[in-house]
A and B are shown apart, each in its own frame.
Chain A
């Protein structure tokens, strides 16, 4: 279970999150919606452990583990995965070599043996097919020269290889046409399981037609200002965010 309590965080002295509370249980899919600048990406980054933020108050725990005390790779070892809104292009670092280092890094953290070359290769092949990633992208430098859609697909591909127990999707729908969106959503839905929690961050409700959430939360001004069932997303689509912001103020 992901438990975020009274989270206050700032960057360069500027407060972004101001007392955020959120609980996501295993097997649940929660959507985080909200206007630009409300702190959605900050929340995603804080869970994954991106340096540069200062947590001034509050806590984030995953299955009882204090995530804020862990390095990013240790969080990955605990099952956390962040699909980036803007996947980073890394020249000179081969996509598959990176993934193998990731798989083995996670296994080592868990005290497991390294994956064999054959098993890894089979896993990569299977997932490549499932996600519809072009095979030619596998041995390219990470995300370099990928189209916007290919980058997002690569994020979901990586997620499907690493099989996280807590997957955070940060605006995975942005920059995707409808076909790509469907494929990405299929990839996510295939991973849905009673052991796995999802936090889906999106500005638009469109993605939620394909990845149907159990709960929808509205993040505004660094706090969750409203929570509800999936219908809340439709309401937001129709009415926008302003009515909630007025309520919150």
Chain B
């Protein structure tokens, strides 16, 4: 029994209103029609899902979370926690949420406004929807819909933690998140995916961000799955007129991680910034596919990704930029820099530019390299032990990008990951000598 067949057993037959059930069924049919991608699909050339499709994943039931080990405790934020895709009110803190933000659960919407939910999910059931986005719409038991009223400046980030709890047998969790930022609003969204428990897990997450005209949205999305945790995430960002959207994808750990980020610049004046840092440790596979669609004139995109692979870790960066015919004054830049820490590590970096317009400024570059021997010798000649010199250089590779995140707690999440691989690093980066 394959991935789809085993999942089919868990779908349908619920108590949801007919309209919602119908769209879930349509989404599942869409996923079935598309099928599980294989390396024969150009988009999945470097990422083989056969290890997943051979497992009998079952949709997760309720799970119990070890609250003490939740990261980002220091982040001053409004906090929502979902465990196995379901909202966990006791772990969440929405006290004093400003009037301009409305937070709704999809499960709630299913009762209150099934038509809205059906329509909301139907985008993921459309003929263009990709397999896993469709599967998410079919399977997500709950989800979060955040609406920011026009003109609202949200002063603290909204932190959404999606925890997947392993149950020993292969478990599928389908988190779902939608942010609608109203005109001239501003919000920071921190989305964190993590795994607890034992056994194979698959998190199939879908996030959509719609920025209204003149809005600013800063979206930090971190993936820290367990050694048996796989993660497939799709992020759709629709950038409104004169608005600015930033996405920072941090993939710190996971057995098999694939993140698709689609940015649509369909109105003039839209700006999209995509940053990413990923680490593929031993036995880990991390694949980022970004697509930026310049469908309107006077739009800007800027993309910087840094990847590190260690041991037999494998990384993929595929960055597609499409500039449609007839649009003018487009600026699109992209850089993908990658670091290999062992001779068994591999990173495939592929920029893909599809330009059908003339009036634009476009730059892209991709590098794959190793730690610089001269830098290593320089540090060691000063007396820095080799292990520490390597740790400093590895973190140094991503430092500027990580420290561009304006929240120390989020930076600390990244340094914690680096310190896990290089225990001396935490001490080396401690202290303040400014």
Contacts and interface: CB of A to CB of B under 8 A. Distances in A.
Contacts of B429: 97
A102 B382 contact: yes
Interface residues of B, number: 29
Interface in B371-403: 372-375, 377-386, 388-389, 392-393, 395-400
Given A72-B377, A87-B378, A88-B374, A97 B392 contact: yes
B138 to A, nearest CB: 43
Interface residues of A, number: 43
Contacts, number: 108
B431 interface: yes
B384 A102 contact: yes
Contacts of A248: none
A141 B396 contact: yes
B381 A48 contact: yes
B386 A73 contact: yes
Interface stretch (A5-13, A76-84, A235-243): A76-84
Given A97-B429, A100-B428, A105-B388, 8 more contacts: A49-B377, A71-B386, A76-B382, A76-B383, A90-B378, A100-B433, A105-B383, A108-B385
B434 interface: yes
A124 interface: yes
B379 A93 contact: yes
B380 A92 contact: no
A109 B383 contact: yes
B431 A98 contact: no
Interface of B: 372-375, 377-386, 388-389, 392-393, 395-400, 428-429, 431, 433-434
Contacts of A108: 385
28 contacts: A49-B377, A72-B380, A73-B386, A75-B381, A76-B381, A80-B381, A81-B381, A82-B381, A88-B372, A88-B375, A90-B396, A91-B400, A92-B396, A92-B397, A93-B392, A97-B431, A100-B428, A100-B433, A101-B392, A102-B384, A103-B383, A105-B382, A120-B433, A121-B433, A139-B433, A139-B434, A141-B396, A141-B399
A138 interface: yes
B393 A90 contact: yes
A124 B433 contact: yes
A113 to B, nearest CB: 14
B384 A73 contact: yes
Contacts of B400: 91-92
A88 B385 CA distance: 17
A73 B376 CA distance: 11
Given A92-B395, A105-B385, A73 B380 contact: yes
Residue picked from B377, B389, B392, most chain A C-beta under 10 Å: B377
B377 A50 contact: yes
Contacts of B382: 73, 76, 81, 98-99, 102, 105, 158, 162
